[in-house]
Chains A and B, each alone.
Chain A
C-alpha cells in the first residue's frame, strides 16, 4: 500500500517518552513501523510506555533508556548506548506559569535547563558524534508561546521555547550539509499532565479551551501525527520549519 508517511525501517529516538506528547509520539512512531528508542526519567512510567508499543516487524527490539537529560553523565551514557538514528523527537520539557516580575534568574535557569539546554546539547552531540545518520530528521517540540503567542504568565516558558526555535533554524542551515533536517512543532495548549498541575484551575482551563477556533485543546495524538510527517520521507524537502498545530489559536 502506498504510504509516504511510513517509518518502517527507521530507528527513532523519543525523549520525554514517559507521558504526554512524548509517550504518544513513541506510540505513533512504532505504529508507523519504526523501531523506537524511548527515554525519560521515570522508570515505572517509561516501562508502561514500552509495554504499549507494538513489536518491531524485522525482529529488532525497541530500546528503553532511562536518562535525566539535564545531567551531563546521563547524556553521555545515553549517547554511548544509542544505535544510529534516522530521526529524533525531543519532547522532554516542562512548563512554568509565572508573571515576568517574578521571573528571577533562578526561574529562567530552571526553565532553560530543561526546555533549551537539554535538547540543544543532546542534538549537538548526536550530530557531532554522527549518531544522526545522513538524511535523519530531528523534531523539536517547541510551543506557540514565545514566537506566535504571548499570553501573560508565560514569559519564562515562552522565552525558552523561542530560543529553541531559533537554534532549530540555525541547525537546519548547518546540518543540511549532511542532509539532516531539523524542524519544530509549535503546539497550542495540549491536554497532558503538564497543564493539570493546579496553578491554573480546571475551570480556567475549560474556559480557555473555548478560545480555540476549533473549539478544544489539542490531544497528544494531534502533535504526534505532525511529528510522523516531519520524520517521514514525505517531508524530505522540508527543513527549518516551525509547524504550528494549535487549533487555530494563533491566527
Chain B
C-alpha cells in the first residue's frame, strides 16, 4: 500500500473539504467536516480497501493521516 493512494481513499470520505487539503501531515480531526460518521466511514473504508479492521481508538490515537496509514500498514504485515 502507498501513502498517496491512502490519502485519496481518505479524502474520498469527505464532501466539503477540497481534496488538496489532504496530505500525509493533515491533522484530520481539525477539519471542519470531521465527525463521528466520518470516523465510521474511515473505519469502513480501511476494511473495504485494505482488509484491515481498525478500531475507534486507532482513530483517536492518530493525529495525522500518516499516523493512521502507519497503523493500517502495521496490521497488513
Contacts and interface: CB of A to CB of B under 8 A. Distances in A.
B36 interface: yes
Interface string B37-77: 10011011101100000011101100000000000000000
Interface string B8-45: 00000000000000000000000000001100110111
Contacts, number: 36
Nearest to A107: B44
Interface residues of A, number: 14
A203 B37 contact: no
Interface of B: 36-37, 40-41, 43-45, 47-48, 55-57, 59-60
B7 to A, nearest CB: 19
Nearest to B59: A201
Q: Residue among B36, B37, B59 with the most chain A CB within 10 A? A: B36
A204 B36 contact: yes
A97 interface: yes
B45 A198 contact: no
Contacts of B45: 102
Interface in A159-205: 198-204
Given A153-B36, A198-B57, 18 more contacts: A97-B40, A99-B44, A102-B45, A102-B47, A152-B36, A152-B37, A152-B40, A199-B40, A199-B43, A199-B56, A200-B56, A201-B55, A201-B56, A201-B57, A202-B57, A203-B60, A204-B36, A204-B56
Contacts of B37: 99, 152-153
A98 B59 CA distance: 15
Contacts of B59: 201
